[in-house]
Every structure is written in structure tokens, then in C-alpha cells.
């Protein structure tokens, strides 16, 4: 993990409140594992805490990484006002991302995401495909206008969509999409709200390798402040840190 002033290469809006930002810097060389995140200082003096944002894409040839964020409050609003050439103070890559070791040809991966949980799944899917793993994406959004990266995921493999209002893909949530799937996965990856993660945990209890990316409020982002703890399922008196031990955990490992 290192800290650096990274430079914004470009930034564009993908959907209402959803922005894609491409950054360049030496830190990219350390970015390898999908599911890790960067911790970004907001360039506004009164906003002291960094904001954790997942790495969406890594391009070692161009020395760039991409993030996709949704405007929620002051911090992400400031990010959206920045332009190409502006710099951001970035720490990272942080956390334990998805574990792709032991996976290869013959594996079938279900990749499950909802809303702003979708971004880290893109780099994950690219890396799985490079390893010869068959990927099937299950992506849920609020409505058609909120859908982003549909073409990018379709270019990687089978992609199924749900929207709350049925305006794109089937009507309902990602759970409905998963229930309709006839295939059986050998491995499942998920990122999204706790409801989505719990659904995946319940549906795939039989699958040995189910990796869930959790979200939690963070301060330091590197294991020092205990702001982000969650409890261990086997022994709730014990806790783990989402920033440092996670954000990716095996299903059943922690209480969601
Ligand atoms: P405010 O609500 O004003 O933030 C106030 C404080 O609460 C800040 O310290 C902020 O960091 C914290 N906070 C608010 N919402 C969240 C949240 N959902 N999770 C954690 N902290 C929060 N969002 C994206 O849009 N794209 C991503 O790829 C992404 N990846 C994430 C990866 C991880 C590991 C985590 C923990 C969170 C991720 N988030 C992502 C959520 C993102 O960090 C928050 O939306 C963002 O910090 C909100 O900041 P704000 O100043 O705009 O909002
Ligand atoms: Fe400080 Fe996780 S945010 S320990």
C-alpha cells in the first residue's frame, strides 16, 4: 500500500449520479487483485475522512485505473466536479480482494452485483475470463436509466439484468434472476447491499467457494481504527475489520 497524488485522465457521467473516473499514477503497478479499493482524500479542507471506492478496472499498459462512483454526499459531489488534469491524494490498493487462485477452465462463476456494487465485478470478470473460467453475470439496477456497463459486461459473457420496475431485463431484484438460472455454479462472487449478499449466502449454501464483498463505514481504511468491524459468524464475540481482513469474505464467515 502506498500513497500518491494521482492524476485524473478523464471523467464522464454514465447514468444519473453515476460517474466514471480514470486515474494515472505509479500506484497502478501495485493493483493486481480485483475487489481491492482505493482510499481517496476529498480535496476540501473540512472533509477529513478519505472515501473508499472500489477499483473497477486496472490497465497496466496505460498505467491507469478506473473507478465508478455514485454521488451520495459532499465527498463524491466534490469528486464529480473535478476535471482531467486535476490531482487526487490516493492511498491504496487496500484490502483483500477476491481470491481467484485455484480457479480455471472447467469452473463456472456466477458474478452477482446490484447498483453501486457492480463496479469491482468488471475487473473480476475480466481476470476470470483470462483464466478460462466461464462467467455468468447477474446485475440488478433500479431502472433502465440507472443501468451502466451493460455493454462492457455483455462483451465478457452471458449477462442477465433485473430492474425494480422491469424497464430493462426482468422485473424484480437479482434474487429473482438467480432463482431463474438453470445453470449450477462452481464458484459465486457477489457485491452489493446486505440484502443481496444475504440472498446469495442463502441460495448457494451448497457451493464451497462463495465470496462476498462487504461495505462498511471506514475511517483509516488500513486496520488501525476499528471503525469498520463486523462479527465472526462462529463466534460473535470476535470481530474482523472489513477494510483490512476484507472487504471480501467467504459466505458464512461473518455476520452480515
Ligand atoms: P457522505 O454520506 O457525506 O459521507 C459521510 C461519511 O460516511 C464519509 O466518511 C463516507 O466515507 C462515509 N460513507 C457514506 N456512505 C458510505 C458507504 N456506503 N460505505 C462506506 N462509507 C460510507 N461507492 C461507490 O460509489 N463506488 C464504489 O466503487 C464504492 N466502493 C466501495 C468500497 C468499499 C470497500 C466501501 C467500504 C465503500 C465503497 N463505496 C463505493 C461507498 C463509498 O465509500 C461512499 O458512497 C462514499 O464514501 C460516500 O461519501 P460522500 O462524502 O459522498 O457521502
Ligand atoms: Fe480503520 Fe477499518 S477503517 S480499521
Buried b (16+ CB within 10 A) or exposed e, 28-56: beebebbbbbbbbbbeeeeeeebbbbbbb
- Relative to the CA of 219, which ligand 2 atom is closest? 3
The mean per-residue pLDDT over the stretch 224-237 comes to: 94
- The pick from 224, 240, 247, 249 for probing ligand 2's pocket by mutation, whose C-beta has the most ligand atoms within 8 angstroms, reads 224
CATH number of 214-255: 2.10.240.10
Cell of 50: 478519505
Q: Which atom of ligand 2 is nearest to the CA of 221?
A: 3
Q: For residues 82-119, b (16+ Cβ closer than 10 Å) or e, as one string?
A: eeeeeebebbbbbbbbbbbeebeeebebbbbbbbbbbb
> What Rg do the C-alpha atoms of the chain give, in angstroms?
18
User: Pairing between strand 108-114 and 187-191?
Assistant: parallel
What pLDDT sits at residue 80?
98
Residue 233's pLDDT is what?
Answer: 94
- Place 164 in a pLDDT band, splitting at 50, 70 and 90: very high
Q: Is 75 annotated as a binding residue?
A: yes
Expressed in angstroms, the distance from the first to the final Cα of the chain is 27
Tens of pLDDT along 101-141?
999 999 999 999 999 999 999 999 999 999 999 999 999 99
- Mutation probe of ligand 1 site: the residue of 19, 48, 75 with most atoms within 8 A of C-beta: 75
pLDDT of residue 178: 97
- CATH fold, domain 2-94, is Elongation Factor Tu (Ef-tu); domain 3 (2.40.30)
Task: Please give the average per-residue pLDDT across 238-247, as a whole number.
Answer: 95
Average pLDDT over residues 30-54: 97
Residue 160 counted as an annotated binding residue: no
Residue 213 confidence (pLDDT): 98
Per-residue pLDDT for 1 more than 70?
Answer: no
- Domain residue ranges of the chain, discontinuous segments joined by +: 2-94, 108-213, 214-255
- Note whether 2-94 and 108-213 share their fold: no
Q: Is 213 helix (H, G, I), strand (E, B) or coil?
A: strand
Cis ω before 247 (30° cut-off from 0): yes
In whole numbers, what is the pLDDT of the chain averaged over residues?
96
Residue 211 confidence class, pLDDT cut points 50, 70, 90:
very high
Q: How many angstroms does the Cα of residue 120 sit away from the middle of ligand 2?
A: 20
Report whether residue 243 contacts ligand 2, using a CB cutoff of 6 Å. Answer: yes
The fold adopted by the segment(s) 108-213 is Rossmann fold (3.40.50)
H or E segment and range at residue 220? none
Instruction: Say whether pLDDT at 59 is over 70.
Output: yes
* pTM, two decimal places: 0.96
Neighbours of 178 (CB within 10 A): 22
Proportion of the chain above pLDDT 90, given as a percent: 99
ipTM here: 0.97
* pLDDT band, residue 81 (cuts 50/70/90): very high
Residues with CB under 6 A from ligand 1: 37, 49, 51-54, 68-70, 72-76, 116, 119, 215-218, 247
Q: Give CA–CA dist 177/158, Å, rounded.
A: 13
Amino acid at each position: 500500500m502506498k500513497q500518491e497524488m494521482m492524476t485524473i485522465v478523464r471523467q464522464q457521467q454514465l447514468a444519473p449520479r453515476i460517474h466514471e473516473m480514470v486515474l494515472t499514477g505509479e500506484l497502478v503497478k501495485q493493483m493486481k487483485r480485483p475487489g481491492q479499493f482505493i482510499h481517496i482524500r476529498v480535496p476540501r479542507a473540512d472533509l477529513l475522512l478519505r472515501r473508499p471506492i472500489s477499483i473497477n478496472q486496472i490497465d497496466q499498459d496505460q498505467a491507469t485505473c478506473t473507478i465508478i462512483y455514485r454521488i451520495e454526499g459532499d465527498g463524491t459531489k466534490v469528486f464529480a466536479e473535478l476535471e482531467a488534469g486535476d490531482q487526487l491524494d490516493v492511498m491504496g490498493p487496500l484490502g483483500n480482494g477476491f481470491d481467484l487462485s485455484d480457479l480455471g477452465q472447467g469452473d463456472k462463476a456466477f458474478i452477482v452485483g446490484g447498483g453501486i456494487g457492480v463496479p469491482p465485478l468488471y475487473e473480476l470478470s475480466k481476470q476470470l475470463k483470462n483464466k478460462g473460467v466461464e462467467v455468468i453475470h447477474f446485475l440488478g439496477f433500479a431502472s433502465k436509466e440507472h443501468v451502466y456497463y451493460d455493454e462492457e459486461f455483455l462483451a465478457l459473457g452471458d449477462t442477465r439484468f433485473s430492474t425494480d420496475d422491469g424497464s430493462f431485463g426482468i422485473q424484480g431484484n437479482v434474487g429473482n434472476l438467480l432463482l431463474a438460472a438453470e445453470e449450477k455454479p462452481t464458484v459465486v462472487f457477489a457485491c452489493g447491499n446486505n440484502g443481496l449478499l444475504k440472498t446469495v449466502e442463502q441460495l448457494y449454501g451448497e457451493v464451497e467457494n462463495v465470496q462476498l464483498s462487504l461495505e462498511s463505514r471506514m475511517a483509516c481504511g488500513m486496520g488501525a481504527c476499528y471503525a469498520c468491524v463486523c462479527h465472526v459468524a462462529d463466534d460473535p464475540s470476535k470481530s474482523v475489520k472489513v477494510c483490512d481482513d476484507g472487504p471480501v469474505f467467504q459466505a458464512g464467515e461473518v455476520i452480515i
